[in-house]
Amino acid sequence: MSNSSSQDFGIPVLTEVIPTPARTVNIETPSEPIAAAPADAAALAADSKTVDPTAHQPIDSWLDEEWTRMEQKISERVLTQLLERIEPVLEQRIRDSLAQVMQVAAEGIRQDFHQTLADAISDAVAQEVDKIHFSNKQNNL
C-alpha cells in the first residue's frame, strides 16, 4: 500500500466531534430531520449549562388559524401514511372474501345446472319412452 495515512489528515475519525451548524426547525415542513446532538459527553455537558433562550421558543403566540393549519397538515400526513399501509391489507381481504363468495355462487350455479339438466334428460327420456310405447301399441293393432 502507498503512504495513504499521510494523505488522510482531513478525514475525521470516530473519536473526533464534528461541529454541525445550528438549524432552526420549520413547523411548515416538519418532515425535515433535526440536527443531531453532539455525541461527545463534554459537549453535552457544555450544552446543558448554556441554554439558548431562542433555541426553544414557545409557540404560545400562534393564532388559532396557525394551529388549525398545522393540525390539518398533520392529519393529512397521518391519514396518507395509514392508507398506504391499510390499502394492501384491505385489498387482499376483499379478494379473499370475493373468492369465497364466487366459489359459493359457482357451486350453487353448478348444482342448479345439474338439477336442470337431470330434469331435462328425465323429461326427454320419458317422452321417448312414451313415443316408443305408443308406436308399439299402434303396431299391435
The string of pLDDT tens digits covering residues 54-113 is: 555 556 677 888 888 999 999 999 999 999 999 999 999 999 999 999 999 999 999 999
The pLDDT tens digits for 12-63 are 566 666 666 665 545 554 444 444 444 555 555 555 555 555 555 556 677 8
For residue 60, the 8-state DSSP code is T
Query: Whose CA is closest to 59, among 31, 24, 35?
Result: 24
Q: How far are the Cα atoms of 51, 101, 128, 134 from residue 140, in angstroms, in the given order?
A: 124, 58, 18, 10
* Secondary element (H or E) of residue 114: helix 64-140
pTM across the whole model: 0.36
For position 20, what pLDDT does the model report?
67
C-alpha 113/C-alpha 120 separation (Å) is 10
